[in-house]
Structure 1
Amino acid sequence: MTAPAPGTFPTAEDEVAGLCQDLLRIDTSNYGDGTGPGERVAAEYVMRSLEEVGLAPTYFETTPGRANVVVRLEGRDRTRPALVLHGHLDVVPAEASDWTVDPFAGEEVDGQLWGRGAVDMKDMDAMMLAVVRQMVREGRSPARDVVVAFFADEEAGGVHGAQWAVKHKPELFEGATEAVSEVGGFSVELGGRRAYLLQTAEKGIGWLRLVADGRAGHGSQVNVDNAVTNLAAAMARIGAHPWPTVLTPTVRQLLEGVADLSGLPFDPEDDGAIDALVDALGPTAKFVGATLKNTSAPTQLEAGYKANVIPGTATGVIDTRFLPGQGDEITRVLTELAGEHVRIEPIHQDRALEVPFEGTLVDTMVAALGAEDPGALALPYMLSGGTDNKSLARLGITGYGFVPLQLPADADFAGMFHGVDERVPVSALKFGVRVLDRLLMTA
């Protein structure tokens, strides 16, 4: 491939904001129930952006409108295992009346791009596109093969995206052993220094339905086998259960790093000391605080059809998130809390992940950050939610969260996820493409 003359095409820094705006203006809301616009329009945009520079990506839909795009970049050393660089094109819904701006207008206000998906995760989608386009235009190849994927349906567990691709098109990821995606690589301020949190773990997920069966009857009669009563008691016990603190290796290493930077003591046996270290992370405490223990949150209730009729069945839903190694324990405890009159049925379940904060790829991520932000530190952390790395793990691919963003010290990055007035600084996107380019060229 002959490289064009320098200066005849826009760079990744030139393009990334525009690419992000275009993606933000495409409504890809995922309601989780099969409704919504789907990802097709965004996937077609991604296809055009890749084809424009001469690539031939693979496009596939699992059902009409649920679209995915994958392309492989050949690396300089094809004997090495491939790296997967992936993002998702769907977003959670947004209620426009709650927002300061139209959530699907992609407006730039005060140097920030506003819109649903600005941080989750059309920012990374745009960064991936911008970097790939620049590399191809310049005739540069990554250090090893890179599989670039834009998935559907991550916000509903990836059934029409990464899960489907892993099951039905595993050949697209042939030879890959590592992956990079959300949610990590963003900066926080600690003790006057900037640190970047790299995601090396994520909690497991269990969406569970609780079902209570009882004796239906007239509301005026005494009924000691009331399904609503049994369910309500079970939901209350589960929602109020005080899960104990359990520090996994990732969380322990993060808190030790926070202690070093902040000067606060680290005592793994003192919940107060642990809470103080979490609070030192500022807005990011919302992420980290939920990784100290298992959680079980009641989210839905349904029973009955008339005020004077006791129903024979009542159902509820709980959202459980469990730490690595805690899957069996949370099942045992929930079964005990539900009680003999309530059964538990799975809706959606997926594994927890945790990998060491070490190795060549981690070293390369840290070096890429350091090259653009000398003196900055990097620390591992666990994500309280989940990512498409769970699906790729089924192929033996080790996943990390690395969306490099240099953020203002007071940025409520955690609050932007699924929140109102989601936004990302344009400067952070430009920083991100510089770091991502370094990573692909050296990883």
Structure 2
Amino acid sequence: MAVQPTAEDEVVRLCQELIRIDTSNPGDHSGPGERGAAEYVAEKLAEVGLEPRVLESHPKRASVVVRVEGEEAGRDALLLHGHLDVVPAQKEDWTRDPFGGEIADGCVWGRGAVDMKDMDAMILAVVRQRLREGRRPKRDLVLAFTADEEAGGVWGAQWLVKEHPELFEGCTEAIGEVGGFSLTVPGDRRMYLIEAAEKGIAWMRLTAKGTAGHGSMVHPDNAVTALAEAVARLGRHEFPIRMTKTVRAFLERACQAYGVPFDPERPEKSLEQIGPLARMIGATLRNTLNPTRLDAGYKTNVIPQKATAEVDGRFLPGYEDEFFATVDELLGPDVERDFVYHDRALETDYEGALVQAMEDALTSEDPGALPVPYCLSGGTDAKAFARLGMRCFGFAPLRLPPDLDFSGMFHGVDERVPVDGLRFGVRVLDRFLDRA
């Protein structure tokens, strides 16, 4: 009788094979789409007796959803979700082929290695092993592998929630990205950051209008000038610190782990202890605005009638109104704004049985683990699933080496995930499902 592979045996290969399926998402429908990866995932789920549905929101843009029946009827269901798309990558910028899925220096390399085909592979590996062994979860699990997360989820999670909410019937809680990863602290211990909040998104298009004319003449009504001045005001503005409950909880526990006092009057000082991760955590102390695009005119000696810019704005839970009031004040009366994309902020209490299950699973595999809640500066598919009333957490567990710039892996070149981290992750997820 052939020996069945374990999740630890499978997870690395599954991650490699997913990376090799190019699902680059340029933000429109010009990319390869997620259909190939969706069919791959569906095949792996069908091999262990499940009946997954591949749902196409647009040609080539596909997601996969399946329900795993639990042992205890009547309990609320749990959603495990991961996205199949990745941001584009230019091969010439990378040390290794971004779609090669190579193993080198103890890591799996490639676009999506941490964002987030690693978690897709971990979910597949754990569920496959449990079903081969006849170990069903205590409560129903819904697995969702989504399209389009990297462009806001319009053709993925948002579409699923709007068009097929029945697939998530009974789901009251969810886990997905970005959380459960480790940060080494003094004493050879590790904090594991579990996402309990994330900032809202306001991608805005700014428009200034003026009078067209000849570039050689005196022209005070210049759309480019008006727009440039407004963009500069936005880009230079520093919002005040607004410490949410999740950020405060993280900083208090981080300071305790590093053996330094927490000063609530100067929370930024705490960030000096945590290295490269400070970029991501620092962005959760305040609202932010970053101009990203400018466009105007068609000829050097022609003053255009219109100029446009795009700005990436992010706001903290509870501070959306303050954010937009500030934006409008900075823009002034001569510049209009509309949305390229807009979605709310999220925050849930870091308490309850699901949180305990995550913490217990981590400490069972790493006795030195220090689980802590944190706020993500970006956004995830959790925003869509929260619309169905789910409490959402980021929990894609990885034990990482101290010198890996994990936050720099997201959308960066030479993205990679440690092989040992993947194997650790499936052990933690398996223990978590025993407790969830």
Match for 2:277: what amino acid?
Answer: T
Alignment of 1:14-163 (within 5 A): 14-163=9-158
- 1:216, 1:265 → 2: CA distance? 59
Question: SS of 1:72's equivalent?
Answer: strand
When normalised by structure 1's length, the TM-score is 0.97
- Tell me what 2:293 maps to: 300
CA deviation string 1:239-287 (max 9, x = no partner) = 00011111100000111011111122211112xxx23311212222121
Match for 1:332: what amino acid?
Answer: A
Question: SS of 1:62's equivalent?
Answer: strand
- Tell me what 2:194 maps to: 198
Question: SS of 1:78's equivalent?
Answer: coil
The question of whether the paired residues in 2 share the 8 Å contact of 1:190 and 1:280 is answered with no
- Tell me what 1:182 maps to: 177
- 1:363 aligned to which of 333, 348, 356: 356
More deviation in 192-201 or 379-388? 192-201
Alignment of 1:3-14 (within 5 A): 8-14=3-9
The question of whether the paired residues in 2 share the 8 Å contact of 1:283 and 1:411 is answered with no
- 2:151, 2:53 → 1: CA distance? 23
- 2:141, 2:272 → 1: CA distance? 38
- 1:110, 1:215 → 2: CA distance? 59
- 2:40, 2:320 → 1: CA distance? 40
- 2:39, 2:344 → 1: CA distance? 31
Alignment of 1:416-427 (within 5 A): 416-427=409-420
More deviation in 283-292 or 129-138? 283-292
CA deviation string 1:327-356 (max 9, x = no partner) = 111110000101111011111100100111
The question of whether the paired residues in 2 share the 8 Å contact of 1:83 and 1:177 is answered with yes
- 1:269, 1:370 → 2: CA distance? 32
Match for 1:233: what amino acid?
Answer: E
- 1:187, 1:175 → 2: CA distance? 31
CA deviation string 1:1-34 (max 9, x = no partner) = xxxx8x7210100000000000010110000022
- 1:22, 1:87 → 2: CA distance? 16
Matched, 1:438 2:434: no
- 2:281 aligned to which of 288, 303, 308: 288
Match for 1:194: what amino acid?
Answer: R
CA deviation string 1:208-254 (max 9, x = no partner) = 00000101111111111100000000000000001111110000011
5+ residue gaps in structure 1? none
- Tell me what 1:250 maps to: 246
Match for 1:196: what amino acid?
Answer: Y
The alignment's C-alpha RMSD in Å is: 0.9
Q: Which runs of 4+ in 1 moved over 4 A?
A: none
CA deviation string 1:167-200 (max 9, x = no partner) = 0000000000000000000000122221111000
User: Identity over aligned residues, as a percent?
Assistant: 62
Deviation, structure 1 residue 63? 0.6
- Tell me what 1:238 maps to: 234
- Tell me what 1:413 maps to: 406
- Tell me what 2:256 maps to: 260
- 1:363, 1:419 → 2: CA distance? 33
Deviation, structure 1 residue 71? 0.6
- 2:215, 2:274 → 1: CA distance? 52
- Tell me what 2:394 maps to: 401
- 2:211 aligned to which of 196, 212, 215: 215
The question of whether the paired residues in 2 share the 8 Å contact of 1:303 and 1:311 is answered with yes
The question of whether the paired residues in 2 share the 8 Å contact of 1:141 and 1:441 is answered with no
- 1:229, 1:52 → 2: CA distance? 61
Match for 1:148: what amino acid?
Answer: L
Q: Provide the aligned length of Structure 1 versus Structure 2.
A: 435
Question: SS of 2:58's equivalent?
Answer: coil
Question: SS of 1:239's equivalent?
Answer: helix
Match for 2:132: what amino acid?
Answer: R
- 1:182, 1:69 → 2: CA distance? 17
